[in-house]
């Protein structure tokens, strides 16, 4: 049986004997990527946050969360490979899982790195043709964006409240914000800075984006912030479009087109 040798996105060499038949995914977007690549039958374990596709929750073994994993459950599945991510899984979890099976850790902050991930999965799982097709489809979807020539709107993207947390320039969210037509007002910050809403009032963003995950913002937060920022457009947005790498950008670009229309309507109402 042939040995697959590959280096993950953290530069760690991995050796796998044969094409993996049992996969454990520690990341929701990775689970969805595997599904799109036609690997549904090989997926043995997923996290409780892996919500796409919905039927996996009933068919796959839930191995815990992204960091509170059940090591005994994972070991019992006897996986050929475990798939993690630098952003989602802490180092200690990865180290422990390496005792069970080879672990490929992804690290995606832009679409170029996303293509590298998809290409690597194509090699590992013998899905090279499907991987290239997905890459081509994502590139085509990006070209359909109809707002590329419009000025970027100054925006803040919240990921949490109490404390209020946003995103810095070294994140995949920041990258996707730019592709969606937004200039991140905290691009000069790193990771996920905590901010004071009073300080944000001085910055006076044009748009405030409230995603559906990881914190699920609702209309009550939208109304609360609208009172503090009457001149801004406060939009409830689909979190997956900004945070899920892998196959989800294919859906993100059409969504960004619709979001731009929603924002334009909001801005027009503000002017009137």
Consecutive H or E run containing 154? strand 153-157
- Counting beta carbons within 10 angstroms of the beta carbon of residue 47, is it exposed (0 to 12), middle (13 to 18) or buried (19 or more)? buried
Domain boundary among 142, 177, 192: 142
Residue 123 and residue 11 share a domain = yes
Say whether both 134 and 161 belong to one domain. Answer: no
**Residue 206 structural domain:** 145-271
* Same-domain check for residues 137 and 157: no
pLDDT in tens, 4-38: 999 999 999 999 999 999 999 999 999 999 999 99
Residues 178, 123 share a domain? no
DSSP three-state, residue 43: strand
Q: Please say if the pLDDT value at position 149 is more than 80.
A: no
**Average pLDDT value over all residues in the chain:** 94
Instruction: Identify which of 170, 165, 159, 156 has the alpha carbon closest to the alpha carbon of residue 214.
Output: 159
Cis check for the bond before 163: say yes or no (omega within 30 of 0). Answer: yes
pLDDT digits (tens, 9 = 90+) for 182-234: 999 999 998 899 999 999 999 989 999 999 999 999 999 999 999 999 999 99
Q: How far apart are CA 97 and CA 23, in angstroms?
A: 13
Q: Do 68 and 92 belong together in one domain?
A: yes
**Pair (149, 254) in one structural domain:** yes
pLDDT at 171: 95
Same domain membership, residue 11 and residue 36: yes
Question: For the packed helices 28-36 and 111-124, what is the interaxial angle rounded to 10 degrees?
Answer: 60
As for how many domains the chain has, the answer is 2
Q: What confidence score (pLDDT) does residue 156 get?
A: 97
Domain boundary among 125, 142, 159: 142
**Could you tell me the CATH number of the domain that includes residue 109?**
3.40.50.1980
- Whether residues 13 and 84 share a domain: the answer is yes
Contact 24/63 with Cβ under 8 angstroms? yes
- Specify whether the CB–CB gap between 213 and 240 falls below 8 A: yes
Q: Of 122, 142, 162, which residue constitutes the final position of a domain?
A: 142
Query: Residue 116 half-sphere exposure, CB side, CA atoms within 13 Å?
Result: 16
Same domain, 74 and 188: no
Clarify whether residues 117 and 202 are in a common domain.
no
């Amino acid at each position: 049986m042939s040995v697959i040798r590959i280096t993950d996105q953290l530069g760690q060499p991995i050796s796998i004997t044969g094409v993996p038949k049992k996969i454990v995914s520690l990341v929701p977007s990775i689970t969805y990527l595997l599904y799109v690549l036609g690997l549904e039958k090989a997926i043995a374990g997923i996290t409780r946050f892996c919500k796409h596709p919905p039927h996996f929750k009933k068919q796959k073994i839930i191995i815990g969360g992204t960091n509170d994993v059940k090591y005994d459950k994972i070991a019992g599945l006897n996986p050929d490979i475990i798939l993690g991510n630098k952003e989602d899984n802490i180092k200690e979890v990865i180290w422990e899982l390496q005792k069970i099976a080879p672990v490929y850790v992804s690290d995606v902050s832009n679409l170029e790195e996303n293509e590298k991930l998809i290409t690597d999965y194509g090699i590992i799982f013998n899905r090279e043709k499907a991987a290239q097709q997905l890459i081509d489809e994502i590139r085509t979807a990006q070209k359909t964006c109809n707002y590329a020539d419009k000025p970027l709107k100054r925006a803040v993207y919240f990921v949490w409240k109490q404390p209020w947390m946003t995103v810095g320039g070294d994140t995949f969210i920041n990258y996707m914000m730019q592709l969606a037509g937004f200039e991140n007002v905290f691009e000069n910050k790193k990771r996920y800075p905590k901010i004071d809403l009073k300080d944000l009032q001085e910055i006076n963003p044009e748009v405030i984006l409230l995603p559906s995950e990881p914190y699920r913002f609702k209309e009550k937060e939208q109304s609360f912030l609208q009172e503090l920022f009457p001149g801004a457009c406060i939009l409830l947005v689909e979190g997956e479009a900004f945070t899920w790498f892998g196959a989800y950008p294919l859906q993100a670009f059409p969504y960004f087109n619709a979001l731009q229309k929603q924002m334009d309507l909001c801005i027009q109402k503000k002017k009137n």
